[in-house]
Amino acid sequence: MLPVVRSTARAVRRPTAVLAGVLTALLTLSVFVSSPATADPRSDAAPRNHAVPGSDDGRLHSLTHIGDNLWQATAYSAAMDAEIPLSIIRPAGTPAGAPTFYLLNGAGGGEDGANWLAQTDILKLFADKRVNVVIPQKGIGTYYTDWIRRDPVIGQPMWQTFLTRELPRAVNTSLRTNGVNAIGGMSMSATSVLNLAIAAPALYQGVAAYSGCARTSTLDGYSAVRGTVYMANKANTDNMWGPFGSPLWTKYDPYVNAHKLRGLSLYLSSGTGTAGRYDKPGLQAPGAPSLGEQVVVGGLLEAAAHNCTSAMAARLRQLGIPATVHLSDSGTHSWRYWQDELHRSWPTVAAALRR
C-alpha cells in the first residue's frame, strides 16, 4: 500500500542543527515555565490516593464520577511505587466493550494548568463518542519513559512500564474495555507516544503526535530533550538515557526506528511557527502566556516542530508507511491549535479503534 500523506504546507528550511537544538531546548522551557501553575478547578472535586499504598490489585482506585462524562481515578504503579492520578472521559452510560484512547499532556505532565482538560473542549468533543479517554495527570518533564537510574531530584520514573503494562491492565479490568487502544500526545509527549508505540507494538492500533520532534539521537534532538527535562524539574537526562551518544538515545529515536511503526494508523501534525488565527487578542486558550510570548517563543518552537514533523513524514514516505500528516501553513506552539488537531485527528484515531 502506498503511503497516504496529506499536507497543506511545504516544509520550511531546516536551520543549522546546533542552532535548532539550542532554540528548541530553551524555547520549550520558556513556554513551560510561563504556563500558569494553577490546577484544573475540577480536580479538587474527587478524592486522591485513597487506595492503600503499595496495593497492586490490577484495578483503578478511587474511581469517582465528577460530572457529565468526566471521572477521576488513580492507578497504582508498582514500578514507581506510586498512585498515578488519572482523568477519564467515559462514554454515556459507561457501557462495557468500548476502546481506549490514552492521551498524554506536554512538559508539565498535566500537573500545571497546561493540560487537555483545562485548555481544550475535550469534554464536549467526546461527549457523544463510545470511547474511554484516559489522561494521566503526572509525569512532568519525564518524557514518559523508563529512566535507567535514580535521579536525585525526581527519583526513578518508570513511565514506559506504567503506560504499557500496569495502566492498561487496570483500565481494561475496571472499565471493562474491549482491549483496543490508541495513544496521542503533544509537544514533549508527541515524541513519547511514538516511542511507546514502538516499544509495545501490539498494544496500540493508532498514534497521534501533535507538534513534537521525532528525533532524539541528533545533537539538536538531544539538546531539546535535555533542556526540557532540566527546566521542567531540574533533573538530569544522563539518568534517563545516559550521556549524549549512549545507545538509548538511538533506541528511543522514532525517526531512526520509524520502520517499527508499520501497521499502525499514524497522524502527525504541526504548524509552521508563523502567527495564525489564534495568535490574536482574545483568541488564546485560558491561562495562555502573553500574546507576544506566544507569537515569538511559541513561533520559534513550532518552527522547530515543523522541521521535525516534515522530516518524519519524509521518512515514513521513504519506508512506504502510510500516515496522515497535516502541516498547517501557520500556527504557533499553543493549545488552540492542538485542540484543532485533536478534532482533525479523531477520524484517523477512531478508524484505528474500530479494528
**Domains detected in the chain:** 17-353 (3.40.50.1820)
C-alpha cell at 217: 539521537
Instruction: Decide the pairing of beta strands 100-104 and 82-89.
Output: unpaired
User: Which of 185, 180, 184 lies closest to 202 in space, CA to CA?
Assistant: 180
For 146-203, how does the pLDDT look when each residue is reduced to its tens digit (9 = 90+)? 999 999 999 999 999 999 999 999 999 999 999 999 999 999 999 999 999 999 989 9
Residue type for position 30: S
Measure the N-to-C terminal CA separation of the chain; round to a whole number of Å: 17
User: Residue 314 has what pLDDT?
Assistant: 98
Contacts of 51 (CB under 8 A, 6+ apart): 61, 62, 74, 76, 83
C-alpha cell at 79: 514500578
Phi, psi of 201 (to 5 degrees): -65, -25
How far is Cα 334 from Cα 294, in angstroms, rounded to an integer? 7
How far is Cα 313 from Cα 311, in angstroms, rounded to an integer? 5
User: Residue 55 has what pLDDT?
Assistant: 72
How far is Cα 79 from Cα 140, in angstroms, rounded to an integer? 17
How far is Cα 179 from Cα 102, in angstroms, rounded to an integer? 12
How far is Cα 198 from Cα 169, in angstroms, rounded to an integer? 19
Residues 60-91 as b or e (16 or more Cβ within 10 Å = b): bbbbbeeeebbbbbbbbbebbebbbbbbbbbb
For the chain of 355 residues, list the mean pLDDT of each consecutive stretch of 10: 39 39 41 38 34 72 96 98 98 96 96 91 97 98 98 97 98 98 97 98 97 95 94 96 97 98 98 93 81 86 94 98 97 95 98 92
Q: What's the pTM?
A: 0.87
Strand order in the sheet with 70-77: 60-67, 70-77, 82-89, 132-136, 100-104, 181-186, 206-210, 265-270, 324-327
User: Residue 287 has what pLDDT?
Assistant: 73
